Structure 1
Amino acid sequence: MSLTIRLTTILSLLLFFLPSAGRALKDDNKSHVKATILAEVRSIQAGYPFWVGIKFEMDEGWHTYWKNPGDSGGPIRIQWELPTGFEAGPLQWPYPKKIETPPLVTYGYENETMLLAKISPAQNIPKSDLYQIKAHVRWIECAEACKPGSSSLLLSLKKGGGTPQIHKDHSSLISTYKAKIPLSTSDWSFAATDRGDYISLMLSQDSHNKNSIGTFDFFPNKPGIYQLHNHRSIGIGKNRSKLVIDKVEGSTIPYENLEGILVSDIGWRGPGSEKALQINIPIHKGPGVWSASFLWIALLFAFIGGILLNFMPCVLPVISIKILALTRKGRSSSHENHRHGLLYGAGIMGTFWALLGILLLLRAGGEHVGWGFQLQSPIFVALMASFFFLFGLNLFGVFEIGTGLLRAEEILKSKRKNISEDMTSFFSGILATIVATPCTAPFMGTALGFALVQPIAIAFLVFTFLALGMAIPYYALTLYPAFLNRLPKPGPWMTTLKQVMAFLMWATVAWLLWVLSLQIGSEPLVPILVAFLVLLLSVWIWGKYARPLYSSFLRYGAMIVSFLLGLFGFYWIISTIQGSNPIGAPSLISSQQRDHQIQWKPYQPNEVEKSIDQNHPVFINFTAAWCLTCKVNEKIVFSNEKVISKFREMKIDAFKADWTNKNDIITKALQKYGRSGVPVYVIYDPNDPLNPRLLPEVLTPRIVLDALEAITVKYSS
């Protein structure tokens, strides 16, 4: 809409509430809307209600507005002035049309319309030969420009004997517009679900009823909640339809029900019947749409999920080394153990807060990120792999800087030993949190999904409970060291266990390099592996010569050479990745198109919607190559013959949303289901497509089979 139209609309709205100014404008400008009042009766009788209409006739190209005018304009206002003993019922509005003047959309009337009201005379109205009904009407009329209009209308009716005398012409015209007043009931059933960015409205009717409503649109009663355009009407067979209603982004207007009218191009009771239907439907919260009462559940889920993180394969090696260190210090004072437990927890807490801060900053900048987002960066994956490589070498005894981030006993002199150990405990918490990001423990996904759509204070509260849950098991051991009595006394077995843990670290390196190959291809892995050899040489020199038994010159020279080689190795890794070309999301589909495996389709929202609209059962697998929980589920569950057979038997439309690399479409889809990380598993039952079912993060074949067997409705292929 042009600037002229916008300015005149604003001016008109101001004048609309200033009658004197409106009259002055009316005197100077010809009105393009003519208003008249008419009744369906010629005479009235006490106790007999009758209909009165205010008819509006608009010049070509001009229009007035509905009760919700849309993006501009203002509704028609009618103030009644009635004889004593008369009452006017609610104003009845015929359904409007959508008037689009991009980028604005308004709801209104063109050419002609009529607003109706039922007038009810009391049984004891005063005796009179003539009864006068007055209506003071104001409106906004628009074409290329807008201006206010007004009129004071007078209707005189005489009192008749017996039943009121009908005015045939007026009654016929009023009946025409009464048919345009929205129905209050129909044979259709409705269910509305809040999907976060939009409202999904599902319509259904009994199978014996074969009436089709064709295409239809929604006109909300109130402005500011829903977008006024791009409502998507989707037919799902003869007896079901769906309408997608986008919400206004950032709107703070509260709503509990979907209020407005639905307008069909055929009619709600068959062809030629009433085209409008009034609805007032409770809106159910879909997955990912939370209420404030969910906070306590989210905090509990976060705490439990944090505890379970300690037992995930990402974190278990780190926590095991910490427990070994605690066993070795069994004779230390309880005060010292408590301090280390608190510092370990502080490292976890600080890292969780830092991760949340980064997440919120990136989201505020328009980025679509979630839990584990840093693993979508090839540089971060490579640096993590190199760190775990060095960590394994440290555990294996190739070099000693204490025990890396977990021990620092020999770095400083004895008088500063406590400071060294305190720093080690703090950084151990940081390390444990960083290596936890590829994992999503049970209960954790729900809590994270809730946190990342809440105000900052609540998000920090949820992440705090998650950190407390992760820190509490180790701190409990520092409070109650009697639990450690079940372990063997310190001895050579501890060195052997450390070396076993080193192999677990190197297994993690192999996995991270595989993830890296899916992100940047296999060719850059060769120079990266050479850089790993440089890092190995660096720490070997440190471990061999940076020891007190050598001269200061040799010892410090070895440290400098080792440091420079290490810097060169890391530089080589980063420059190699920066010089590579990301290959996008790895193709996990082509290798799985064999009969004995689930035939996953690449995730595309429109294809998922199409399958749902066709009444197909749908299974969506949100996964990533760097997600350990995802890979375990794929190996144990989605490679299970019974699960594969069930997918084939039920003709499940299976979609795989691979989040290995950054993908805004998948991130938005995760947010739609109330999640911020992977894995996420979603099932759509064709009998209840408005309520997708989310499965737990950790799956078993029985869980998936039970969920699929719950889908009993047959669909047409």
Structure 2
Amino acid sequence: MKSIAPGKPFTVALKLQHPSGGWHSYYKNSGGIEKSPEVKWTLPEGFTASELQWPVPHVTDGLFGKSFTYSGTPVFLTQITPPANLADGSKVTLKASAVWQICREGQCRDEPKEGPAKFEITLPVAGAPEMDGAQAALFTAARAEIPQPSKDWKVSVEASGTELQLRLKGVSTDLSQASLSFIPDYPFIALAQNGAGLTRDGDDWLLALKRVTKDPVFDHAVPQGKQVAGILVGTNPINGASKAVAIPPTTIGKAPAAPLSLGKFLPILGGMLLGGLILNLMPCVFPVIGLKIMGFVQQSGQDRKKIVLHGLAFTAGVLLSFWALSGVLFALRSAAGPGQEIGWGYQLQNPWTVLVLMLLMFILGLSMYGVFEIGASATSVGGKLQTKDGVSGSFFSGILATVVATPCSAPFLGAAIGAAIALPPVQFFTAFTAMALGLSLPYLILSIFPRLVDLLPRPGAWMESFKQAMAFLLFATAGYLLWVYVGQIELDNMLNVIFGLTAVAIAAWIFGRWHTPFRSRKARTIALVLTVLFAAGGMKLAAPPAKSELVWEAWSEARVNELLEDGKPVYVDFTAKWCATCQLNKKRAYPKEVAALMKDRGIVLMRGDKTNPNPAIDAKLEELGRSAIPVNVLYVPGKEPVITPELLDAGYMKDLITREVPLPEKK
């Protein structure tokens, strides 16, 4: 350019001259681990620079597969946009630094050898931009080498299993005759060459793209992106001429699921039905089903129509619950992005859901064991929701059976559920309806064929023992959910959950002991208030805690000395899981404001865990003059270690850090 104009974009070029002897540089995706050319701009205020525009690279054989390279004298363009308020007649100076790597036959070196190449250009500002005629040919040739998106094509990318499909709409030429290749912009996509994977889908063209999951050099995982971009290069088979079309960054979508044939769908349907039947034997579900079958025992000899009504109500509860859960699952599946796998039991990823389910199983177990009653008969799993005839109780039991089936279904029914989740809408909901019918089938059969009820044992004292036995299965389910929950909130917070469950158990005991009809109104009122207080306190204790902002390293004397030599302050917490005071300190001493203060002062946190015997920690405690934990020590370079009191709070920690640890110097 001889001059530029306010607000009018112009183009600058970086031209590389490779040494002779096979040296080459690389495209922005080198195909391996080599470095691509990089340009950094220092521009006057208000100026902006576009990303580097890349010419079509060559596909060459590298040490670890295909590489995308440049030889000769490639030219890279950048568009600069000046602000609209530039003063006419003024001058502006643009500065840039550039580095690139060149390689040949396994040898690579950075260019320039002495460091980044520096460029500077000063241009006058005029009313209209003026091109430098001497450079016009260079820019014309460079623009011809840079691929552009097609104005007629519509491009989309679909994820199909582990592969990707590039879909091209509006293509008027026969691409099968063009020996089409795709050069990817991102390393997680493999090169597609010479028409491999190209198919016709009606008026569209599909190009299958393979994912690269492992780095061929270091064998580590390659991050998977959410977009696909690159260059499609087609070669004319007659004259050998090539044409390149840029594929702009395109978000990866999901390919619509294709309906299965009846022969392939029926096995999935049968698997889901069988899976529902199997769930009746799971420890999560059997207590609910078992107690409802006890309802049949009690109703033996009663109106058969009412028994059928119970069976239909239970089935309706199961069906509606399954449809609701599978509807949410289908919506999440549709909204999920590439690489986001949604499966049955997905709701267990939410700690609040796991907590509520755990408390529900625990409370129901306490009720079945006799700590308190939530209904007037053994069939009252629906509690207050049960009417005189118990139909709404049966409906609620169907809902409960579905909710508690979730933790059990994933490990036992993975294959069938995994196949069903990928189905199109009609087959998807049909498959989960089959699973719901399988879960409710035993109860439904007993209600429709009343003679089978006569085969059940007669009511008796055994029923109370059976009910209490079912409680232990619910406690086992609550224990499993506790394990899941602690994994989500981290082991350090488990003590709160144990105390919370204890408070809930006390609430249930108070309710069952004193909130009974033969107690006085005053006693029942006091019992109800205490029940609510203990239950609410237990829920608060067990609730998911805020994620800690502190990051702790494992303690070692050598690491402490290394950090102090580097001028970094260190805070060491000698603790153990069995140390109650230690656990209290963790809750009181490190709120967000203390964590922020530690971060601002550059304190490195270390934890010495004495849960199991540790001679190194014992020796260190003896050196510090302490024989028992908790022991917390603040080390500041150039100062004596500060040993804190045993019991800590946030106020003490703020004062200690502010007083002892200086702010780091700004570099």
Q: Where on the TM-score scale, by shorter chain, does this alignment land: which range?
A: 0.3 to 0.5
Structure of higher RCO (CA pairs closer than 8 Å, 6+ residues apart): 1
TM-score (structure 1 length as normaliser):
0.43
